[in-house]
Amino acid sequence: MTEVDYRQGSYPVAGPQTANLADILERVLDKGIVIAGDIKIDLLDIELLTIRLRLFVASVDTAKKAGIDWWETDPALSSRASRNALEDENRALRERLKALESGTDEESPGK
């Protein structure tokens, strides 16, 4: 075993530094990562099935910067979007009802 003299300024050289999972995840979420792939099934040069897979892994802020915010407008994922969808449906139904009632009143005999 060799002895290292630290007083002379020679320090042991460290090997490659390892990053823990949290560091890697933080870097990926900060910058984002895209994984893409295609699966094709052909039979006798006839394309039967094509599946395109796209996966974008990023933080919410990074996704918004990239213009991706579909979870905010999907009623299944957002209570605000769900309320908005119900309000829109309610408004449309009221307008339709009003149009039907006004059409019925004008066509009714005796009025």
Please indicate, yes or no, if residue 24 is contained in any of the structural domains.
Answer: yes
Based on its alpha-carbon atoms, the radius of gyration of the chain, rounded to whole angstroms, reads 31
Q: How confident is the model at residue 8 (pLDDT cuts 50, 70, 90)?
A: low
Please indicate, yes or no, if residue 111 is contained in any of the structural domains.
Answer: no
Q: How many domains does the chain have?
A: 2
- pLDDT at res. 108: 47
**Domain range enclosing 38:** 20-68
Global pTM? 0.38
Closest CA to 74 of 62, 89, 84: 84
Q: How confident is the model at residue 96 (pLDDT cuts 50, 70, 90)?
A: very high
Q: How confident is the model at residue 11 (pLDDT cuts 50, 70, 90)?
A: low
